[in-house]
Amino acid sequence: MSRIFIADDHPMIQAAIEGLLRGGGHQVVGRASSGAETLDVFPQSDADILVLDVQMPGGSGIDVLSGLRARADRRPVVLLTASIADETIRNAVALGVSGILLKTSDPSLLIDAIGAATAGGTWIDPAIKDRVSAVSGKGGTRRALSERERTLIRLVREGLKNREIAERLNTTEGTVKAYLHGIFDKVGVESRTELAMKAAEIIGP
């Protein structure tokens, strides 16, 4: 059993995470709803692991992680996020994050991430694993695309909707949305239409 501290600015998400963790045999020993509060309260807690929302008022998750490392607090941190930019991934990896999990993924994956963090390992959401490898292992290039992302771009160019893409790839609409957000960030577009128009330039004919 691990002692967990939850930092998220949405009370309903806090409650859902706590219920999931308790069901997995873990103990929730503290909560915070802003970056500043997390930096104030977490260092004084006896928590083993921090489950940290990336986007919060009063300081982002990366701000909190950086602040903790500056204080020599090396306890494992698992980031939760609806979406994540490559620069955020790069910073998180550089700061020694123990896990990154998309909020659109299966909630049970949080238990897997906690388990890996407890064992001293690193757990990355399968939906962004290729992006993390590209950012952290290839000099941080923002334009490196995985084969999965290239396939998704082709399907967008064909005019398929998220639901249809999810069915084609045997995944969920949430995962497709997460992939699309990452692709937008990598290739510098802001919409599906713009992505479709630039597809040939990005991945070839």
For 173-193, how does the pLDDT look when each residue is reduced to its tens digit (9 = 90+)?
Answer: 877 887 787 788 777 787 888
C-alpha angle 83-13-127 in degrees, rounded to nearest 5: 30
- Below-50 pLDDT ranges, the chain: 138-143
CA count, 13 A, side-chain hemisphere, 100: 30
What is the C-alpha separation between 9 and 2, in angstroms, rounded?
A: 22
The CATH number given to 3-137 is 3.40.50.2300
Q: Give pLDDT, residue 137.
A: 59
Q: Give pLDDT, residue 132.
A: 82
190 phi, psi to nearest 5 deg = -125, 0
Q: Does this chain's domain 3-137 share its CATH topology with 147-203?
A: no
Say whether pTM exceeds 0.75.
Answer: no
Q: How far is CA 74 from the centre of its chain?
A: 19
147-203 to CATH, choices 3.40.50.150, 3.30.470.20, 3.40.50.720, 1.10.10.10: 1.10.10.10
Q: Give pLDDT, residue 145.
A: 67
What is the C-alpha separation between 100 and 83, in angstroms, rounded?
A: 10
Q: At what angle do helices 147-157 and 192-203 cross, to 10 degrees?
A: 120
Query: What is the full DSSP assignment across 43-109?
Result: GGS--SEEEEESS-TTS-HHHHHHHHHHTT----EEEEES---HHHHHHHHHTT-SEEEETTS-TTH
Q: Give pLDDT, residue 116.
A: 86
Q: Which helix (H) or strand (E) holds 6?
A: strand 3-7
Length, in residues, of the chain: 205
Q: Give pLDDT, residue 138.
A: 46
Domain extents in the chain: 3-137, 147-203
